[in-house]
Structure 1
Amino acid sequence: MSVPVEAPRRPTLNSLPWVAMYHSVGDCSDDPYRITVTPDRLDAQLAWFARGGLRGVSVAELLAAPDRRGLIGLTFDDGYADFVDSALPILRAHGFSATLFVLPGRLAGDNAWDPLGPRKPLLGADGIREAAAQGVEIGSHGLTHVDLTQADDRTLAAETQDSRARLEELLDTAVTGFCYPYGTVDARAVAAVRDAGYAYACAIDPGALNGVHALPRVHVGQNDTAARLFLKYRLHRLRRRPVEGL
């Protein structure tokens, strides 16, 4: 059954920015965590955004825009190697940009933190630089993908401060965005990220936490067709209060 294309109702200036969360782009036949979309599905999803009058941008660009109408933040977590080969050409074909959250403590490694499913290779330094050279915002996903709400003080400092320092050395530019591994966040983690100098941080569902260092995002997966994306867009706006300071 075909679904009529209906343009999403655009958010007002005072409403919560809509940020979509992706991970890997490739084969999703063995995908227990539902972190993968195929290239064809990503292409169809970005086409739907475009038909609805939305342009995908990095989180930094989204937050800096004086008028966010017509913009949607696109994020890709973990820094999978398939981002450069599979996701980036599709983003460029649609004229979109994105934020890529990477793990400088696992360069050219794999998703060892996932006990199930296939090992997926991560970008090395050259791949991260290539993405940045093509206009992708690079942000930190921590150093090694640790749940910050369970980390001791030393680990928390390394995952926030050291990861930013390593990325800035790798890219020779400021790194201002952070993404909480697993999406888990509490007030202590927010304070550590803010104190490390990040301008914003993305979570998934931050609960009662609010502000630019606890931005909620909407998971987008292989099963998200036009109808599901439309519902997610609408429900995101209806469920969330505006983020203070935006």
Structure 2
Amino acid sequence: MPSSVESPALTRRLTPGPVPWIAMYHSVGDCSDDPYHVTVTPDRLERQLRWLRRRGLRGVSVTELLAARARGEGRDLVALTFDDGYADFLDHALPLLADGGCTATLFVLPGRLGGDNAWDPLGPRKPLLTGDGIRRAAAAGMEIGSHGLTHVDLTQADDRLLKAEIAESRVALEELTGAPVTGFCYPYGTVDRRAMEAVQEAGYAYACAIDPGELTGPYVLPRVYIGQNDTAARLFVKYRLHRLRRRPVEGLR
């Protein structure tokens, strides 16, 4: 007969823990024409990674960070995420991550393999990774997660499109990489309860947003935008404010 008293293990699992530091990047390359401020130069990324090392922090994938937190560890880890799957990740970001002993999570769009950022009405067209490029990133130790199929606002999607963007993108990426895909990232960072529940039902283990508002938990993990203007001083402020402003995340120790 089930006991009415929760086990200590269950109690620990449900106890909210401090919000993890998850940094949000996009493109790494020339940022001279960048109206959306989603690009950092390789030199800036290298300096930002050095800042982490000086503070005794190491960049890892979201899955590695969450696994460490589940063990009650990982206070010296930060998650690095790169949205959209820009092709410049291989040439500019990957070597810097490898040199720094870091890994990251790359959220890609299997419905736009080898395409470009057509969802952005302004600015230059940036090429996206091909299927081979995604496999190369995975072989180098990067976690591959889904950013949906084609980069649409899921809060505006009907039921058919919502399922395609969330569930079918996971199937496509698992077929492409031959490995489980457990992470999802909401395009534009927009999320509501319907989209969150669809991600959970599709079998993902976690999902990243930007500012999920009143929603909380491993399927709406908040992230910190990192851009070209983020010097050491700005990174320090963002790091501190993130812990102060965000609510503890249920399910994380």
Same fold (TM over 0.5): yes
SS at match of 1:178: strand
- State the shift of 1:68 in Å: 1.6
Q: Could you give the per-residue CA deviations for residues 177-230 of structure 1, whole angstroms, max 9, x where no partner exists?
A: 000000000000000000000000000000000000000000000000000000
Match of 1:146 in 2: 152
State which of 79, 84, 88 in structure 2 corresponds to 1:82: 88
SS at match of 1:113: coil
SS at match of 1:146: coil
Work out the CA distance in 1 between the residues paired with 2:49 and 2:175.
32
Q: Could you give the per-residue CA deviations for residues 70-121 of structure 1, whole angstroms, max 9, x where no partner exists?
A: 0000000000000011000000010000000000000000000000000000
Are the aligned partners of 1:149 and 1:189 in contact in 2 as well (CA < 8 Å)?
yes
Match of 1:23 in 2: 26
SS at match of 2:33: coil
SS at match of 2:227: coil
1:216 aligns with 2:205: no
Are the aligned partners of 1:19 and 1:217 in contact in 2 as well (CA < 8 Å)?
yes
Q: TM-score, normalised by structure 1?
A: 0.94
SS at match of 1:211: coil
In the TM superposition, 1:105-184 aligns within 5 A as 105-184=111-190
Are the aligned partners of 1:99 and 1:137 in contact in 2 as well (CA < 8 Å)?
yes
Are the aligned partners of 1:17 and 1:68 in contact in 2 as well (CA < 8 Å)?
no
Q: Could you give the per-residue CA deviations for residues 15-68 of structure 1, whole angstroms, max 9, x where no partner exists?
A: 111000000000000000000000000000000011001000000000000202
**Structure with the greater alpha carbon radius of gyration:** 2
Match of 1:207 in 2: 213
Q: TM-score, normalised by structure 2?
A: 0.92
Work out the CA distance in 2 between the residues paired with 1:131 and 1:160.
21
Identity across matched positions, percent: 75
Q: Which runs of 5+ in 1 are unaligned?
A: 1-12
Q: Could you give the per-residue CA deviations for residues 150-179 of structure 1, whole angstroms, max 9, x where no partner exists?
A: 000000000001000000000111100000
Are the aligned partners of 1:201 and 1:212 in contact in 2 as well (CA < 8 Å)?
yes
Are the aligned partners of 1:16 and 1:243 in contact in 2 as well (CA < 8 Å)?
yes
1:230 aligns with 2:233: no
CA RMSD of aligned residues (A): 0.8
State which of 56, 60, 67 in structure 2 corresponds to 1:57: 60
SS at match of 2:181: coil
Which protein has greater RCO, CA pairs closer than 8 Å, 6+ apart? 2
Q: Which runs of 5+ in 2 are unaligned?
A: 1-15
The alignment of Structure 1 onto Structure 2 pairs a total of residues equal to: 234
The residue type equivalent to 1:84 in the other structure is L
1:33 aligns with 2:36: yes
